Each structure stands twice: as structure tokens, then as C-alpha cells.
Chain A
Amino acid sequence: MGDFLQFAFLQQALLIGVILSISAALLSPFLVLNQQGMIAHGLSHVSFTGFVLGLLFLDQPLWIAVPFVVSSSILIQYLTTKVKLQGDVSIGIVTSIAFAIGLILIKTSSSFNVSVESLLVGNIFTLRAGDLFLSSVILLSVIIFIWRYYQKLFLMTYDQNYAVFLKVNVTFIRYLLAIFTSLFIVIGVRSIGVLLITSLIIFPAAIASKISTTFKHTFLLGIMIAVISSLFGILFAHPLDIPASASIVMMYTLLFIISFFIKKGGQTS
């Protein structure tokens, strides 16, 4: 294993994988524990169409994909907060429409020559230095966002009504959370793929919250779980010649199963 670690593409893949996993783990508790995790799933499907549109019209598809996914996340929040649709209904509507548009474009466009599988599954081993830069920008942005709004996000997560009572601008922060989630999704999709990018958001808090008794520990343990899963997932993926995204998810699954056998501190059976 030590031999292939010297390959630059693997080092880059490990670095991007860890950076993306940490970004996702930072967002995870505020989405998953607030029952908003499915927005990541929805936005991953929207990003599929965003990239299809981008690849059809530009050399740099992100210029279209990013605003497309961000706009969709804003639309989902608007449908939930202003039109008063239930969250999963808003996600389902926007996701379905966007994905359908993507499929139609692929089928009807003769100039679309990118593998659909590559969009769905991603390939972290073929990314470039620009992707490392973008991933780092996302991580830094998420860190700043979480640091700035941590107390309010925590309150909104465990008692949204009380946050409203305390005049926390819940709507604004929810829009920000949706936007940062969409930015993570659209940057992460090329590494992890449309189908499995959601797992990076869901698993950290899902696992950590089973073991931790404080929110801070859930947060930090989630980051640790994310780093371990991405590192070992990528390391095993290459020699086994399996998609890195799937390998990462299997690492998360293993940790998820292990978490069932770990009791929370002080809890009796």
C-alpha cells in the first residue's frame, strides 16, 4: 500500500476526499438532526441537470451548475417557508422537475457526449488541481458560516420555535444553510457522484448522534468519522478497482454498524 501512496493522483484524491468529507460533516448535524437531510439528496439530483446543462453549453460546466443548484436550493426553501409546503414535498417537486429536464436534455441532445455513469458515480481519481482549490474554498466558506452562526444553528436544530421567539432570523439562516449545502453538493458531485454524495451529509451526524451525549461531541465525532471513512474508503478503492464513492459509503456503513454496539456514556441498557 505504501507504494501507490506516492502517486500524485492518489495523494490529491485523498486530500480532496478529506476536505469534502469535513465540509459535509460540518453541515451534517444542522441538516440531519433538524430532519433536513433529504435536501442534500434532492440537490444532488438537481446537480445532475446542472452539469448536463453546463456540459452542453460551456467548457466549464460549473459556471452553469453552481447557479442552477443554488437557485434550486433557494426555490426549495421558498416553497417550504412562503408557500408552506412540507419540506419533503418541496424537495420532491424541485428534484423531480430538475432531474426530468436533465434526462430529456441527454436524450434529445446530439452534442452531449459525457458518460452518464461518470456523473452518477463520480471519479475522485481524475480530478485536477482546480478541484482541490474549489473544495478548499468550500471548506473554508463552510467553516466561516458555521463559526459565525453556530449558536443560532444549534438553537434552530433543537428548538426552532424558541429560536423564532428569540428573534433569530431563522428564515435567513435556513436559506444560507441551503446555499452552502448546494455549493458543497455541486463541488462534491464530481468526486462522489450524484447517487452517493448525500451519504457524506447523512452519515456523520447519524453515526455520531448514536454515540454522543452532547452536541459538541456529535459535531467533532462526526468530523472524525468523516475523515476516517474518506481516507480508508479511497485507500481501499484504488487497489480493489471500485468507485471511491461506494468504498467511502461502505466505510460509513461499517462505522454505522459498530455504533450500534457502542452505548452512549452513562446510558444503561
Chain B
Amino acid sequence: MVHVKDINMFFGQYHALKNITFNLNKGDFLHIVGPNGSGKSTLIKILVGLLQPQSGEIALNTSILGYLPQTFNVSDHVPMSVYEVLKNITKNETDIDGWLHMMEMTDYKYEAMQHLSGGQKQRIFLVRALLQNPEILILDEPTSALDPHFRETFLHLLHHLQRTHKMTIIHVTHDLTDVVKSNCKVLYIDQDIRFFGDYKDFQNFSHEGHHHG
């Protein structure tokens, strides 16, 4: 489903990503972890087409991507409602209502975005991503603005999507406590790949002290 081979990214002289290579099958759940500045968001931006690497290949067996960016370049002074944001993506009211219900945001359907908390906005932008019925869902630190209760719910939701929709999920996080499920893969990068494999093997890797500080 996802084939990444020898991705190299430079910002001027700075070699941000070095020979990044990994493959994912349909329905895989991948956590991308690493310290701040390790290139996680850069890799994500390359996967979704916002950045072009200097070398390497990417093959995604679908054009239907869902994307939840890390920091929203969303202007705070643009008045807009939740409904306008979501209707901009799809005219399907059933889909909008369905995903809002799943995100526990039904009551906010016509609310102004400016009135929402950071976590609520993040849920709406996740709905925005899911409304495209993606085969691959890419999330860049989605739990950073969420309260602890919804953080756990959110992660369970992602695994639910993986199981029921056979969605391939790529989840960037700097918090290893997000990596809780054994049936997922982990990609640990710090400019280059330090680990790629199953979660159970990553547990051994991280216990050996190869963890970010």
C-alpha cells in the first residue's frame, strides 16, 4: 500500500532525512516516533505531497488520502462555522453527521470554529480528513491538543478505523505512551531510520535505551 524508498531531504545544507525506506501493507497501523526535530513532520509532508524530496521514491497504491496536519495554518480571524468547513469537503450530509457523531461533536455542527477549543478544532479537522473516505489516513501529532479522556478515545477510534474500514494509518507522535497496541508497526527516526518493525520488537529496542530524551 505504501512504498517509500531512499528518501533524502535537504533544507539548504541540512540533511533532514537520510535514506528513509519502509513499506506498509493495506490495513497496517504505523506509529512514526522520534525526538523533536527528527524529521517526522517533514516525512509526513513528503508523503502527502506538500514537500518534494531531493531523491527517493514514494508509491502509494491509492490517491485517496486523509491528512490531519500538525499545526493548522488555519487563520484564527477567518469567521467560519464547522458546517462550512465540512461542507467544503463534501455535500453528503449523512457522512458529515456520521463522522461528527463518532467524534462526539454533533452538537457543534453549526458552531463557529472560533468558539471551539484547540482539541475540538482538532476533532473537526479529523472529520474533515475522514470525509474523504481515505484508504490511507495520515495524522501528524493529532493528540497533542486533546484532553487525556479524548486522547485515549481518539487512539481507540484510530484502531477501530483500521479494523472496520481496513484503513492504513500513519500516526506521528512524539509521545511513546500513544504507542500502546501490539498489532502496529513503529518507525523510529532521527533524520535516519533507527528502527522499523513490529511494536513487540520496538519494546526491546526502546528498553535497550534507544529512546528519545
B79 close to A (CB within 8 Å): yes
Contact with A along B46-89 (1 / 0, CB 8 A): 00111000000000000001010100111101111100110010
Q: List residues of chain B with CB within 8 A of the CB of A164.
A: 49-50
Tell me if B88 and A160 are in contact (CB < 8 A). no
Q: List residues of chain A with CB within 8 A of the CB of B72.
A: 159
B114 close to A (CB within 8 Å): yes
B207 close to A (CB within 8 Å): no
Contact with B along A143-162 (1 / 0, CB 8 A): 00000000100110111111
A266 close to B (CB within 8 Å): yes
Tell me if A33 and B67 are in contact (CB < 8 A). no
Contact of A214 among B50, B65, B81, B128 (CB under 8 A): B81
A23 close to B (CB within 8 Å): no
Contact of B84 among A34, A214, A264 (CB under 8 A): A214
Known: A159-B74, A160-B73, A161-B50. A151 touches B88 (CB 8 A): yes
Tell me if A165 and B80 are in contact (CB < 8 A). no
A108 close to B (CB within 8 Å): no
Best-buried of A34, A214, A264 by chain B (most CB within 10 Å) = A214
Tell me if A213 and B79 are in contact (CB < 8 A). yes
Contact with A along B82-107 (1 / 0, CB 8 A): 00110010000000000000000000
Which are the 10 A-B pairs with shortest beta-carbon distances?
A: A213-B112, A158-B78, A215-B80, A214-B81, A212-B79, A33-B78, A161-B73, A159-B74, A218-B79, A209-B79
Contact of B49 among A151, A165, A216 (CB under 8 A): A165
Tell me if A214 and B88 are in contact (CB < 8 A). no
Known: A159-B72, A161-B73. A216 touches B115 (CB 8 A): no
Nearest CB of A to B49, in Å: 7
Known: A214-B112, A216-B84, A266-B112. A162 touches B69 (CB 8 A): yes
A217 close to B (CB within 8 Å): yes
Tell me if A165 and B67 are in contact (CB < 8 A). yes
Tell me if A215 and B67 are in contact (CB < 8 A). no
Q: List residues of chain A with CB within 8 A of the CB of B74.
A: 158-159
Secondary structure of the B side of the interface? loop
**What is the CA–CA distance of A161 and B115 in the complex, to the nearest angstrom?**
22
Known: A161-B69, A267-B115. A154 touches B79 (CB 8 A): no
Q: List residues of chain A with CB within 8 A of the CB of B78.
A: 33, 157-158, 209, 215
A214's nearest neighbour on chain B, judged by CB, is B81
Contact with B along A230-269 (1 / 0, CB 8 A): 0000000000000000000000000000000000111100
A155's nearest neighbour on chain B, judged by CB, is B88
A267's nearest neighbour on chain B, judged by CB, is B115
| B interface, CB within 8 angstroms of A | 48-50, 65, 67, 69, 72-75, 77-81, 84-85, 88, 112, 114-115, 128
Tell me if B81 and A33 are in contact (CB < 8 A). no
Known: A33-B78, A214-B81. A159 touches B50 (CB 8 A): no
Best-buried of B65, B80, B81 by chain A (most CB within 10 Å) = B80
**What is the CA–CA distance of A212 and B115 in the complex, to the nearest angstrom?**
12
Contact with B along A194-216 (1 / 0, CB 8 A): 00000000000000010011111
**What is the CA–CA distance of A21 and B88 in the complex, to the nearest angstrom?**
27
Q: List residues of chain A with CB within 8 A of the CB of B79.
A: 209, 212-215, 217-218, 264
20 pairs, CB–CB < 8 Å, chain A vs chain B: A33-B75, A33-B77, A151-B88, A158-B74, A158-B80, A159-B72, A161-B50, A161-B73, A162-B128, A165-B50, A165-B67, A165-B69, A209-B79, A212-B79, A213-B81, A213-B115, A214-B112, A215-B84, A265-B112, A266-B112
A164's nearest neighbour on chain B, judged by CB, is B50
**What is the CA–CA distance of A212 and B84 in the complex, to the nearest angstrom?**
13
Q: List residues of chain B with CB within 8 A of the CB of A209.
A: 77-79
**What is the CA–CA distance of A170 and B143 in the complex, to the nearest angstrom?**
29
B80's nearest neighbour on chain A, judged by CB, is A215
**What is the CA–CA distance of A218 and B80 in the complex, to the nearest angstrom?**
9
Q: List residues of chain B with CB within 8 A of the CB of A212.
A: 79
**What is the CA–CA distance of A267 and B114 in the complex, to the nearest angstrom?**
10
Best-buried of B48, B75, B88 by chain A (most CB within 10 Å) = B88
Q: List residues of chain A with CB within 8 A of the CB of B85.
A: 158
Q: List residues of chain B with CB within 8 A of the CB of A216.
A: 84
Nearest CB of B to A223, in Å: 15
**What is the CA–CA distance of A3 and B79 in the complex, to the nearest angstrom?**
42
